[in-house]
Amino acid sequence: MNLLIKNSHVIDPHSGLDGRFDILIKNKKIIDIKKNIKDKNAKLINASDMITAPGFIDMHVHLREPGQEHKETIETGARAAAAGGFTSLACMPNTSPVNDSSGITKYIVSRAQKSADVNVFPIASLSVKQKGKALTEMADLIQSGAIAFSDDGMPIQNSELMRRGLEYAKQWEALIIDHCEDLDLSSNGVMNEGHYSYLLGLKGIPDYSEDVMVARNIILAEKTDSRLHLAHISTKGSVEIIRRAKEKGVKITSEVTPHHLFLDDSLLSSYSTDLKVNPPLRTKQDNKSLINAVKTGVIDVFATDHAPHSPDEKDVEFNAAPFGINGLETAVSLILDKLVHTEVISMNQCVDMFSCRPAKILGLNSKGKIEKGADADLTVIDPQKKITVDVHKFRSQSRNNPFHNWELKGSPVMTIVGGKIVYSDLH
């Protein structure tokens, strides 16, 4: 059945739409956008106080399947994504076994086809078993559905391997994503190094353990002229290095998470393991610098680094807890409340960073836009809706989210993937 979204405020920076239109969907595609569309065969959705945007894409999530289904599955992660307003996910390869071969990539693709409400695009590891020694078979992996390459949480320390990876990927303009961290400088730290780590006696991770790797990666991306995306930027130092590189025209892009924008290391005084994340929560100065980087376009996209862990795994002494924050169901409301309603960024920029830019970076040519022929992936937002975050109501299988009980204004209310309503809280 056709779907007709009536009278919503359509915002799509890619095609320049910013006004009240109807959207008609047929056979998984958008077939028309204009005022006063009539279609007797269509299911009508009255969205007159809503904003309709091209489907949001979270290019950094951990879905834990295969191997860690006690934390999350592709099915539950996708359901969380739908409830959070996301229509597509790119999932990191640190599953068990690691997604370093076509067999695992195909398995994830087929599990997603069977069980996921949203589009799932696997990211394969750049090195075999994420060991940082030998490159994975890139051509075979791309053929099997890998959308990018990354060793994410086990960042590549060997600069020569990173050089070879970038160089080799260039023949397909394949994307490499790096979690920038010098593991020797981090030296098993568990929180940001600074006043609060000294106060709490927790081992610190200096901010420059990120900065030096951001700098290294930018130099290698420049020399190899390859595409590189920098994951979850958390420091003021990184922002400054990225700004200079972009001014020079290096082909890099970067992302930031809501928790790095809105939380800082002073909160660790509670020793709450829900705040244990890597990169760690930095300082208020870093928050400020990251927000400014979002505003000025130094950072390209919002991503969640959704990292679900079971409640038991987090209910331990601080050092023993795994790193990670569960973010899919709070990201959009946080950005709307903290950045859009406060007029730090416009709704247009918000949509650009959640949808158009991630689609471009990942090469998803029929997504991240509302135009005739594009995929019917849409995120409908009620900018005025007030919510109170309640982790116990999450669709995700895990609960490790530090924004519990936060009151936020603005929320996704309907998620449409391939013309199918996968989540609705409208009316």
Partner 1 sequence: MSFGKKHLLGIQDLTKSEILSILETAESLKEISRRDIKKVPALRGKTIINLFFEPSTRTRSSFELAAKRLSADISSFSKTTSSTVKGETLKDTVLNLEAMQTDALIIRHSASGTPHFLSTFCESHVINAGDGTHEHPTQALLDAFTIKEEKNRLKDLKIVIVGDILHSRVARSNIFLLNKMGAQVVLVGPPGMVPAELADLGADIDHDMDRAVKNADVIMMLRIQLERQQKNFFPSLREYRNLYSLTPNRFKKADRNAIIMHPGPINRDVEISTQLADSVKSVILKQVENGIAIRMAVLYLLLGGKEREFTN
The residues in 343-372 that bind partner 1, with binding defined as CB under 8 A, are none
Between 269 and 342, name the residue whose CB sits nearer to partner 1. Answer: 269
Using the rule CB under 8 A, give the single segment among 1-9, 126-134, 217-225, 314-322 that binds partner 1. Answer: 314-322
Least spacing, CB of residue 194 vs partner 1, in Å: 6
The residues in 43-62 that bind partner 1, with binding defined as CB under 8 A, are none
Least spacing, CB of residue 50 vs partner 1, in Å: 41
Using the rule CB under 8 A, give the single segment among 214-222, 279-287, 288-296, 315-323 that binds partner 1. Answer: 315-323
Using the rule CB under 8 A, give the single segment among 30-38, 144-152, 291-299, 317-325 that binds partner 1. Answer: 317-325
Between 223 and 284, name the residue whose CB sits nearer to partner 1. Answer: 284
- For the chain, the farthest-separated pair of C-alpha atoms sits apart, in whole angstroms, at 67
Binding mask 166-205 for partner 1 (x = CB under 8 A): ---------------------x------xx--xxxxxx--
**Beta strands 228-230; 176-178: pairing state:** parallel
Binding mask 243-282 for partner 1 (x = CB under 8 A): ---------------------------xx-----------
For partner 1, how many residues bind (rule: CB under 8 A)? Answer: 18
Between 158 and 187, name the residue whose CB sits nearer to partner 1. Answer: 187
Could you tell me the two tokens for 113? 């086809």
Catalytic one among 264, 305, 352, 377? 305
Between 296 and 319, name the residue whose CB sits nearer to partner 1. Answer: 319
Between 195 and 386, name the residue whose CB sits nearer to partner 1. Answer: 195
Residue that has been written with the tokens 């809105």 in this structure: 262
User: Is there binding between residue 312 and partner 1 (CB under 8 A)?
Assistant: yes
Between 309 and 395, name the residue whose CB sits nearer to partner 1. Answer: 309
Can 305 be counted among the known catalytic residues? yes
User: Is there binding between residue 158 and partner 1 (CB under 8 A)?
Assistant: no
In angstroms, rounded to a whole number, what is the distance separating the alpha carbons of residues 208 and 50? Answer: 43
Work out which of 110, 158, 171, 315 binds partner 1, going by CB under 8 A.
315
User: Is there binding between residue 164 and partner 1 (CB under 8 A)?
Assistant: no
- Interface residues with partner 1 (CB under 8 A)? 187, 194-195, 198-203, 270-271, 312, 315-320
* Catalytic (active-site) positions: 305
